[in-house]
Amino acid sequence: MCGRYASFRQAQELADIFTVDTVSPVAAELPMNWNVAPTTAVRVIYEMQQGGELLRILDAAQWGLVPSWAKDPGMGARMINARSETVAEKPSFRGSLQYYRCAVPMEGYYEWQAAPAKGAKQPFYVSAPDGAPLAAAGLYSLWRDELLTCTILTRAARPELREIHDREPVFLSSISDWLNPTIRDREDALELISEPGPELTARPVATTVNSVRNNGPQLIAPLGSQAV
């Protein structure tokens, strides 16, 4: 799964990297965050038709998808991830898979490895080996025309990450096809994420990341390198 991640690039830098046409004011104002947690505002990238023109937009959404038909937005806290294997059948996600796909930019994500004996789990920071930004496949939804929300797709972890956790986010090698709003067949959309995605590397980090109250670049530093 993906329950915590790091996003510390400025909005304009992300716009340049992902060839974004428009940056919303809310997305531009989001601060650097090394400990992004569910239900907080996060940056998302999506495409939509405006005046006959296809625009790529960097926007802000609450992490935790709330379907348009939901009675209560509180259900979003349980919808931070969507399993790619079943997303096409789930009522909460299948409409967004067809019409409202997005990319969630991040620098890396955290995962916790269970201890062999009873004890604290070891957190790992997973990122591109060269530190390049990643784009997770996501879905978004607009609840009652007032709350934009999103979820991150996951799949079975690749062999080199499986010892840490059995799931990983679905990362896109290119966001263009995934964002394309003219692709509306669910099976066609799933085919776009059938490839393994970019190379990833994992390193253990300090347990200070366990608390969402902690933030800063020290959270992604390799274990043992933090200043005392």
Give the chain's domain count. Answer: 1
Note the pLDDT of residue 226: 59
Residue 210 lies in a domain: yes
pLDDT tens by residue, 26-80? 999 999 999 999 999 999 999 998 888 899 999 999 999 999 999 999 999 999 9
Residue 226 lies in a domain: no
Q: Which domain holds residue 176?
A: 5-220
Residue 225 lies in a domain: no
Residue 227 lies in a domain: no
Q: Which of 47, 107, 111, 168 is catalytic?
A: 111
**Rg (Cα) of the chain, in Å, rounded?**
17
Q: Tell me the sheet residues that pair with 145.
A: none
- Does 53 qualify as catalytic in the annotation? no
pLDDT tens by residue, 169-202? 999 999 999 999 999 999 999 999 998 899 999 9
* Predicted model pTM: 0.95
Q: Which of 96, 114, 120 has its CA nearest to residue 46? A: 96
- Percentage of the chain surpassing pLDDT 90? 89
Residue 203 lies in a domain: yes
- Does 111 qualify as catalytic in the annotation? yes
Q: Which of 2, 47, 102, 107 is catalytic?
A: 2
- Looking up residue 113, the CATH number of its domain turns out to be 3.90.1680.10
Residue 204 lies in a domain: yes
Residue 160 lies in a domain: yes
Residue 43 lies in a domain: yes
Could you tell me the pLDDT band of residue 228, with boundaries at 50, 70 and 90? very low
Residue written as tokens 């960097």? 58
